[in-house]
């Protein structure tokens, strides 16, 4: 017969199992959101382009440049301009939005080419823009700058982050028929350059002046310093030096750092630094001279090497070596005697900013930078040249912040702390990478912050950890300047046809379908669930894109707003148990269940008992009596009792507390077994417990058994 005590045990076990099941359910589940609608045939793309450059080269064609007494009697400015173009042509740029150049010959009336892509396809077209023009009477900078504004307005829009530069080569001061003073001319130039909302306000200016007499150009240097900055104003006294200055300007435009030219007369060693993407050798040879370059392995650098490319110019050769080996290299003059001039251009790997060039006011700016090769492969750190990364931010009001760059995965770094975009304007981001004492590479980028509606992902939170679930729940809202907007009032589109979401798994380069998110009217938020089982550990990126039409047009707003949330997925504690040890857990559960079954069988195999059982204490007092009638076993109970010290009965500390537990079970028709140990004896079937067998012989009529504990 099943006793009441036994039923209590079964109830308790059931409650414990139910509690575990509830915890597992809570850890696996979440709130129910409306399921998102899948969209076929499209995907959300975050296009990443290499930075580009738009460069305007202004060449002075005034009369003082011409003739035997002119500053450029041999027309070297045009040859140097072709070298300038060739130098730019070998620089890396984006395939879709490459670097561009426009050449402006200025004097009386500027002659300007449109902005032309600096690609091999258009190389001949650009060379044809560098032309010889008749001597001009005036030196009209203002007309040339206005022509650049016109060219900017008519140029196709390139959507990558681009630097804008104007290089002016001149030999004199501004002059035209108006015959104004130098100060008046420069006041007009500054008015154009500094015009509010003008095209030229964000241009970098570089001024190269030829000054053989110290008369005309020298008088204008102070004015040019105010426009371009003293570090961007150069003076040469020999036209041959124009090549070097053009090379220096290009290095400034692309932030490659300064370099010095090598003058090679004999065998000469030089060091190539680590962490270089490439190195260029611009070799200017004289008739009858030849130069050879050897790498650290002693191999001659020539066009047959896979990582070497060579381009020929007028009296110069440009040798480009990709992934140059760091160490000691060597020049060797192989033919003739004399001096060969070499521009050695190391081009280091640099950090690239991954943030978009335009961001909304109110969204936090988490600086993200990539330090990788062009093919995306990681740049291996050299132990002798440890890498260090940092960033500096200048806000629109001039406040500066220093950021630490922390690596979050291969080649990708984030800036800490996160920047709050509380002001509209330009945030200048300077990324710095150092490699021991050999590398110091800087790259500068602008992020323009303007006010327009943008997305904010609340769930899953950025850089959070999500547990396994049968779906991915999303909570997204639209804000402007940190405040939630009324979606229906602000946009003319149906709310359910404005926001797309797509999940990417980073560690497996896996893409999931695109979904339309559902709008919740009551919450004024998008509450949707993507029917994607999140049952695998990994790193995920959720891209959410807003493409809506405002009721009132905002020219500052990009065509779409794209925001991402990066999160990891892993099991909760209970899910880990299930995931990592399902077989072990199953075995354990089977063992426990089998043991419980064994205990039940062992209990039920006992004989029914009769009579009563009295528990008698040390002082012969009856502690408790039990009716044994029809019971096969009696469950454990704990008893506390006291032993009195007979020698010190009245003593306050004479009592010693003791306790005992017992458990009894019928053995056969006339015996019962008392197990000392209680629950322990029950669980281990009495195998390791002290036990006493009590007989009922000659006691059937009395039906009373006394069991004494001492």
43 pLDDT band, cuts 50/70/90, is confident
* pLDDT number for residue 32: 56
221 pLDDT band, cuts 50/70/90, is very high
pLDDT tens-digit map of 156-199? 999 899 999 999 999 888 988 888 899 999 999 999 998 866 78
Same domain, 311 and 432: no
599 pLDDT band, cuts 50/70/90, is confident
* pLDDT number for residue 620: 61
Residues contacting 443, CB < 8 A, separation 6+: 255, 350, 351, 352, 353, 430, 431
Q: Which of 39-43, 541-545, 568-572 has the lowest mean pLDDT?
A: 39-43
Same domain, 20 and 40: no
CATH of the domain at 302: 2.60.120.380
Residue that is written with structure tokens 């992902």 in the block:
457
Closest CA to 144 of 109, 190, 191: 109
CA 642 centroid distance within chain = 72
* pLDDT number for residue 582: 67
pLDDT tens-digit map of 408-438? 988 999 999 999 999 999 999 999 999 988 8
What is the tally of helices (H) and strands (E) in the chain?
11, 42
Asked whether 653 and 643 are in contact (CB, 8 A), the reply is no
Same domain, 198 and 283: no
Residue 413 CA to residue 353 CA, distance in Å, equals 10
Strand partners, 101: 55, 116
Asked whether 429 and 447 are in contact (CB, 8 A), the reply is yes
Alpha carbons within 13 A on the beta-carbon side of 636: 18
Asked whether 612 and 699 are in contact (CB, 8 A), the reply is no
Residues contacting 684, CB < 8 A, separation 6+: none
CATH of the domain at 381: 2.60.40.10
Strand partners, 264: 340
Share of the chain above pLDDT 90, in %: 60
Residue 613 burial (C-beta neighbours within 10 Å; 0-12, 13-18, 19+): buried
Q: Is residue 522 part of a domain?
A: yes
Backbone angles phi, psi at 543, to 5 degrees: -100, 130
Query: Has this prediction a pTM greater than 0.85?
Result: no
Residue 313 CA to residue 309 CA, distance in Å, equals 14
Same domain, 625 and 657: yes
Q: Is residue 597 part of a domain?
A: no
pLDDT tens-digit map of 313-326? 988 999 999 999 99
Per-residue tokens: 153: 């307005």
Residue 418 CA to residue 406 CA, distance in Å, equals 12
* pLDDT number for residue 13: 59
509 pLDDT band, cuts 50/70/90, is confident
Strands 368-370, 261-264: pairing kind: unpaired
Residue 306 CA to residue 523 CA, distance in Å, equals 61
Same domain, 192 and 68: yes
Residue 89 CA to residue 528 CA, distance in Å, equals 50
E-only strand ranges, 299-382: 308-313, 316-322, 327-335, 340-348, 352-353, 358-360, 368-370
* pLDDT number for residue 570: 92
Same domain, 196 and 135: yes
Asked whether 303 and 281 are in contact (CB, 8 A), the reply is no
Q: Is residue 578 part of a domain?
A: no
* pLDDT number for residue 83: 96
Q: Is residue 188 part of a domain?
A: yes
Same domain, 556 and 466: yes
Residue 6 confidence (pLDDT) above 70: no
Q: Is residue 595 part of a domain?
A: no
Residue 311 CA to residue 318 CA, distance in Å, equals 5
Same domain, 478 and 432: no
Concatenate the DSSP letters of all residues of 245-272 into one string.
HHHHHHHHHTT-----EEEESS-EEEEE
pLDDT tens-digit map of 122-158? 999 999 999 888 999 899 999 999 999 999 999 999 9
* pLDDT number for residue 22: 47
The CA–CA distances, whole Å, from 13 to 4, 262, 684 equal: 15, 86, 18
Residue 388 confidence (pLDDT) above 70: yes
Residue 500 CA to residue 497 CA, distance in Å, equals 8
Residue 708 confidence (pLDDT) above 70: no
Q: Which of 227-241, 325-339, 623-637 has the lowest mean pLDDT?
A: 623-637
For residues 244-270, average pLDDT: 94
Residue 616 confidence (pLDDT) above 80: no
Same domain, 204 and 137: yes
CATH of the domain at 140: 3.40.50.410
Per-residue tokens: 187: 């006041």
Q: Write b or e for each residue in 543-573: b if 16 or more Cβ atoms lie within 10 A of its Cβ, otherwise e.
A: bbbbebeeeeeeeebbeebbbbbbbebebbe
Q: Write b or e for each residue in 220-239: b if 16 or more Cβ atoms lie within 10 A of its Cβ, otherwise e.
A: beebbeebbeeebbbbbeeb
Report the phi/psi class of residue 685: left, alpha or beta, with left for phi > 0 and alpha for psi in -120 to 50.
Answer: left
pLDDT tens-digit map of 55-79? 999 999 998 898 877 888 888 999 9
605 pLDDT band, cuts 50/70/90, is confident
For residues 293-310, average pLDDT: 95
E-only strand ranges, 362-493: 368-370, 387-394, 400-409, 412-416, 425-435, 439-450, 454-459, 464-466, 472-480, 483-484
Q: Is residue 438 part of a domain?
A: yes
Residue 627 CA to residue 313 CA, distance in Å, equals 116
Residue 221 CA to residue 227 CA, distance in Å, equals 10
* pLDDT number for residue 702: 35
Q: Is residue 356 part of a domain?
A: no
Backbone angles phi, psi at 82, to 5 degrees: -70, -35
Domain boundary among 316, 348, 380: 348
Asked whether 614 and 705 are in contact (CB, 8 A), the reply is yes
Residue 557 CA to residue 481 CA, distance in Å, equals 13
Torsion of CA 406, 47, 488, 501, to 10 degrees: -70
The CA–CA distances, whole Å, from 506 to 2, 352, 470, 540 equal: 59, 20, 20, 6
Q: Is residue 642 part of a domain?
A: yes
Residues contacting 683, CB < 8 A, separation 6+: 599
Closest CA to 563 of 547, 585, 580: 547
87 pLDDT band, cuts 50/70/90, is very high
Q: Check residue 325 and report its DSSP letter.
A: P
Same domain, 418 and 370: yes
Residue-range definition of the domain harbouring residue 427: 362-450
For residues 533-562, average pLDDT: 90
Map residue 440 onto helix, strand or coil: strand
Residue 137 CA to residue 133 CA, distance in Å, equals 12
Residue 367 CA to residue 458 CA, distance in Å, equals 20
Residue 446 CA to residue 448 CA, distance in Å, equals 6
Backbone angles phi, psi at 520, to 5 degrees: -105, 110
Residue 697 confidence (pLDDT) above 70: no
The CA–CA distances, whole Å, from 145 to 87, 105, 231 equal: 24, 11, 21
Same domain, 369 and 327: no
Average pLDDT, the chain: 86
Q: How many domains does the structure of the chain reveal?
A: 6
Domain boundary among 315, 348, 381: 348
30 pLDDT band, cuts 50/70/90, is very low
* pLDDT number for residue 607: 82
The CA–CA distances, whole Å, from 261 to 264, 282, 284, 313, 435 equal: 10, 9, 11, 18, 23
Closest CA to 66 of 136, 139, 168: 136
Same domain, 628 and 700: yes
Per-residue tokens: 335: 């033919």
Domain boundary among 428, 450, 472: 450
């Amino acid at each position: 017969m099943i006793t009441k005590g036994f039923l209590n045990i079964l109830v308790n076990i059931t409650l414990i199992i139910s509690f575990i099941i509830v915890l597992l359910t809570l850890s696996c589940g979440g709130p129910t959101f409306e399921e998102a609608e899948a969209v076929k045939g499209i995907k959300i793309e975050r296009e990443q382009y290499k930075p580009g450059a738009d460069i305007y080269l202004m060449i002075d064609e005034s009369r003082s440049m011409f003739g035997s007494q002119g500053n450029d009697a041999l027309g070297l400015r045009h040859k140097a301009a072709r070298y300038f173009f060739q130098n730019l042509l070998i620089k890396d740029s984006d395939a879709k939005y490459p670097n561009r150049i426009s050449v402006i010959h200025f004097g009386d009336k500027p002659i300007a080419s449109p902005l032309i892509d600096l690609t091999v396809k258009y190389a001949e077209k650009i060379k044809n823009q560098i032309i010889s023009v008749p001597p001009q009477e005036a030196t009209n900078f203002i007309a040339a700058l206005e022509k650049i504004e016109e060219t900017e307005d008519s140029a196709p829009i390139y959507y990558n982050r681009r630097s804008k530069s104007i290089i002016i080569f001149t030999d004199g001061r501004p002059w035209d028929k108006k015959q104004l003073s130098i100060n008046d001319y420069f006041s007009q130039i500054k008015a154009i350059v500094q015009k509010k909302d003008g095209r030229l306000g964000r241009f970098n200016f570089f001024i190269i002046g030829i000054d053989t007499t110290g008369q005309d150009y020298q008088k204008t240097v102070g004015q040019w310093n105010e426009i371009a900055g003293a570090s961007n104003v150069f003076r040469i006294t020999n036209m041959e030096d124009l090549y070097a200055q053009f090379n220096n300007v290009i290095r400034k435009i692309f932030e490659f750092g300064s370099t010095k030219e090598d003058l090679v007369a004999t065998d000469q060693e030089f060091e190539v630094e680590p962490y270089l993407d490439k190195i260029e050798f611009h070799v200017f040879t004289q008739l009858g001279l030849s130069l050879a370059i050897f790498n650290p392995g002693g191999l001659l650098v020539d066009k047959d090497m896979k990582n070497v490319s060579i381009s020929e110019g007028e009296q110069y050769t440009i040798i480009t070596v990709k992934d140059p080996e760091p160490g000691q290299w060597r020049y060797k003059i192989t033919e003739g005697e004399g001096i060969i001039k070499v521009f050695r251009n190391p081009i280091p790997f640099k950090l690239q900013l991954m943030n978009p060039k335009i961001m909304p006011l109110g969204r936090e700016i988490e600086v993200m930078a990539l330090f990788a090769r062009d093919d995306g492969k990681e740049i291996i750190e050299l132990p002798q040249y440890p890498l260090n990364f940092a960033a500096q931010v200048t806000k629109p009001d001039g406040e500066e912040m220093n950021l630490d760059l922390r690596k979050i995965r291969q080649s990708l770094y984030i800036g800490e702390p996160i920047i709050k975009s509380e002001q509209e304007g330009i945030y200048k981001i300077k990324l710095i990478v150092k490699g021991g004492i050999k590398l110091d590479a800087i790259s500068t980028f602008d992020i323009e912050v303007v006010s327009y509606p943008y997305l904010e992902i609340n769930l899953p939170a950025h850089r959070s950890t999500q547990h396994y679930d049968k779906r991915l729940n999303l909570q997204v809202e639209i804000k402007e300047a940190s405040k939630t907007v009324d979606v229906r009032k602000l946009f003319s589109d149906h709310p359910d046809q404005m926001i797309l979401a797509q999940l990417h798994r980073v560690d497996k380069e896996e893409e999931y379908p695109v979904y339309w998110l559902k709008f919740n009217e009551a919450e004024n938020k998008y509450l949707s669930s993507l029917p994607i089982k999140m049952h695998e550990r990994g790193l995920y990126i959720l891209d959410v894109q807003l493409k809506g039409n405002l009721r009132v047009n905002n020219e500052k707003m990009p065509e779409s707003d794209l925001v991402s949330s990066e999160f990891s997925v892993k099991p909760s504690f209970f899910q880990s148990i299930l995931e990592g040890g399902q077989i072990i857990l199953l075995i354990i559960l089977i063992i426990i269940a089998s043991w419980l079954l064994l205990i039940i069988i062992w209990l039920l195999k006992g004989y029914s008992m009769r009579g009563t059982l009295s528990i008698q204490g040390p002082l012969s007092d009856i502690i408790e009596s039990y009716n044994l009638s029809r019971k096969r076993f009696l469950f454990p109970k704990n008893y506390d009792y006291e032993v009195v010290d007979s020698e010190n009965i009245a003593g306050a500390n004479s009592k010693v507390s003791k306790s005992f537990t017992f458990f009894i079970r019928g053995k056969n028709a006339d015996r019962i077994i008392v197990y000392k140990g209680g629950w322990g004896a029950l669980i281990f079937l009495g195998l390791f417990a002290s036990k006493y067998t009590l007989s009922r012989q000659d006691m059937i009529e009395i039906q009373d058994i006394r069991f004494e504990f001492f």
